[in-house]
Structure 1
Amino acid sequence: MPVSVHYGLTVLIWGLTWTAIRLQVEAAPVDLSVFYRFVMAATVALGVLALVRRLPKLNRQQHGWLVLQGATLYSINFLLIYRAAEAMTSGLLAVVFSLAALFNALNGWLWLRTKPSARLYPAVALGITGVALLFWHDLQLGNATAASILFAAAGTFWFSMGNLISIKVRQAGIPLLAANAWAMVYGALILGIWCLIQGVDWVLPTSASFWGATAFLAIPGSIIAFYCYITVIQTLGADKAGYATVLFPVVALSLSTWLEGFEWTATAVLGAVLAILGNYVLFRKPGTPASGYRSSSVRTEA
């Protein structure tokens, strides 16, 4: 499957998860909602791989990398982002999270000594400006505490670290599907321990909307989307893959137009155009090798 399809699926699916997350957290505590999501995702992913006999034996060091991936991509980052969402508008949160591409470039330089694409900076500048214009009304409200902004930035940075760890997981020789399945198991365990420490009320929601949303977040939103996203990281580099976070709000607001009657103002339309233009700037030369984290030895087999 072409990497452009993986990129497109990542943007589409994660753009749709915004609505599913809202439906989920309306029926259960936030931390417990994330826990249920990754318990379901880990159970399905691990169960299917075991059924088709695609679970390789892994050594202790490989499992160590998967624990780190579970902590950065499938647990702690979600806890931080959801904490931020409790005290800031969704628009401001989207703007902060769209910094993931810059965090990826910074972390790649700090930890892997790799130079990001020269087109990244103008593309991200266009993208972040576009996201800010999309949520201009939210930003004018100024509804955010200093703590919530720190939580959002920390969650985005932690997510970015998970992007780099996924590269180390691949270099450790772990097939992608098996790596994601085990990392989700460890992420669910971390979330479960956190819920116990926090004394969360262990409710079991009975609404069909909660479990429908959880199933969407677990299977397309976690198993499929993270597979696609990590494939993009391993093919194009984490800096370019991170630009997908700029396009999520465009998809989310398009869905909101249909479900909630979101009205596209001139400012919002301009924001969407700038976000898409930034994507064009970043990928405008098809076939040009991506700088950053791409390696001729990296393949994307499952």
Structure 2
Amino acid sequence: MNTTVLFAATVFIWGTSWLAIAWQIGEVPVLHSIFYRFALAAVLMFAVLISVGRLKLPGIWRFVVLQAFCLFSLNFVAFYQATSLIPSGLVSVIFSLASIFNAVNARVFYGEQITKRVALAAVLGVSGLILIFWQSLMLSYDASTLIGVGWAMLGTLFFSFGNMASRKNSSLGISPVTTNVWGMGIGAAFILTLIFLGGEPLQLPSAPSYYAALVYLAVFASVIGFSTYLLLVARIGAAQAGYATVLFPVVALSLSTVAEGFAWSFMAVIGVGLTLAGNYVMFSQPRPHSLKRLQEAG
């Protein structure tokens, strides 16, 4: 599949997935929703791969397991908790900082240089978040908003760790399809274990909108969205693939404004603009070898 198509599909699917997460909040406990999502996604992927004879064992499991914990369980525990406290569109804005997290973690785990552009992007991004949440945190001090921001930041950090694990799996010759199917299965099993350890029986939701959101999140956001995104990571690297996060909030905030009544203040407008600008700075001047990789991938 063409890299441009992969990019566009990832932006649209993940940009709309935040609202679907919001539709699941409150029906059943958060862990239950995450289990249903990835259990269904894993079953679908296993069925498809078995039917076409493409189901494979990874060979090396440790980074697949790490990816499962970071991309298909722990990060979504954090994101669902965040969405219960702040609008889904704002969670997507915080998630858009994944490109900066990826750059820092690539330095930590792979020794890649952190450039001045990364530092500037981080300053713009953090400044934007401060302005977005200025009224809630600085003027009236809404504790639930602060907790929601913390959960969203933690989810983004786990997501970035998952990107690093995915990159390692690709370097070991393990395809994104293989890591996805086993990762989702492992992630679902891990969440189910947490549910049982908590001593709480599984609860079934009743609202039709919950099931519609579940199908969308399992089929599109999980099976298709993660596959397109991790294919981008494998082709052009985590930092370049992270450019998709620049556009997620545009889609998510548009939906949040209509469906959740998100109110745009002047500070919020400036803050979102700064955050998006920070992400754009990350990719506005690609290094020569990055341009070559993009051209080859396309």
Percent identity (aligned): 39
Aligned to 1:75: 73
**1:175 aligned to 2:175?**
yes
Query: Equivalents in 2 of 1:270, 1:202: separation in Å?
Result: 43
1:111 aligns with 2:109: yes
What is the CA–CA distance in structure 1 between the aligned matches of 2:205 and 2:268, rounded to whole Å? 36
Give the Cα separation in 2 of the matches to 1:13 and 1:138. Answer: 29
Following the alignment from structure 1 to structure 2, what is the Cα–Cα distance between the partners of residues 288 and 252?
A: 32
| Residues 46-125 of structure 1: pairs in structure 2 closer than 5 A | 46-59=46-59, 61=60, 63-86=61-84, 93=91, 96-116=94-114, 118-125=116-123
CA RMSD of aligned residues (A): 3.2
Verify the 8 A CA contact 2:106 2:164 in the aligned structure 1.
yes
Bigger Cα displacement from structure 2, 22-31 vs 160-169:
22-31
Q: Distance in 1 between matches of 2:214 and 2:8?
A: 22
Equivalent-residue separation in structure 1 for 2:246 and 2:280 (angstroms): 12
CA deviation vs aligned residue, 1:181-210 (integer Å, no higher than 9, x gap): 111011111011011111233112233211
Equivalent in the alignment of 1:142: 141
Is residue 131–residue 249 contact of structure 1 (8 Å, CA) maintained in 2?
no
Change (3 A) 1:261 1:72: closer
**Alpha carbons 1:42, 1:184 under 8 Å: kept:** yes
CA separation in 2, counterparts of 1:19 and 1:90? Answer: 6
- SS of alignment partner, residue 242 of structure 1: helix
**What do the CA deviations read for 1:23-61 (whole angstroms, capped 9, x no partner)?**
1123111110000000011111111111111212443x2
Task: Output the amino acid matched with 2:80.
Answer: Y
**Distance in 2 (alpha carbons) for counterparts of 1:174 and 1:90:** 33
Aligned-residue offset at 1:19 = 1.4
Query: Which stretch of structure 1 is more off in the superposition, 159-168 or 12-21?
Result: 12-21
Which digits, 9 at most, give the CA deviation of each residue in 1:191-234, with x for residues without a partner?
11011111233112233211110011111111121122222322
What does residue 206 of structure 2 align with? 206
CA–CA separation in structure 1 for the residues paired with 2:217 and 2:120? 32
2:58 paired with 1:25: no
Question: How far apart are residue 96 of structure 1 and its match?
Answer: 4.8
Q: Residue 162 of structure 1 aligns to which amino acid in structure 2?
A: G
- In 2, Cα distance between equivalents of 1:229 and 1:132: 28
TM-score when scaled to structure 2? 0.83
> Which is richer in helix?
2
Closer/same/farther in 2, CA of residues 153 and 100 from structure 1, 3 Å limit: same
Number of matched pairs: 294
Larger mean Cα displacement after TM superposition, 275-284 or 99-108: 275-284
For residues 4-37 of structure 1, the C-alpha deviation after alignment (integer angstroms, 9 at most, x for no partner) is: 4333332322221121112112311111000000
- Within 5 Å, which residues of 2 pair with 1:35-54? 35-54=35-54
| Cα displacement (A) at 1:3 | 3.0
In structure 2, runs of 5+ residues without a counterpart are: none
Q: Describe the shift of the 1:147–1:285 C-alpha distance in structure 2 as closer, same or farther (beyond 3 A).
A: closer
Q: 1:17 to 1:99 in 2, by over 3 A?
A: same
TM-score (norm 1): 0.82
Letter in 2 for 1:41: A
Task: Tell me, yes or no, if the aligned pair for 2:58 and 2:178 is still in contact at 8 Å.
Answer: no
Contact 2:63–2:168, Cα closer than 8 Å, also in 1: yes
Tell whether the 8 Å contact from 1:80 to 1:154 is kept in structure 2 after alignment. yes
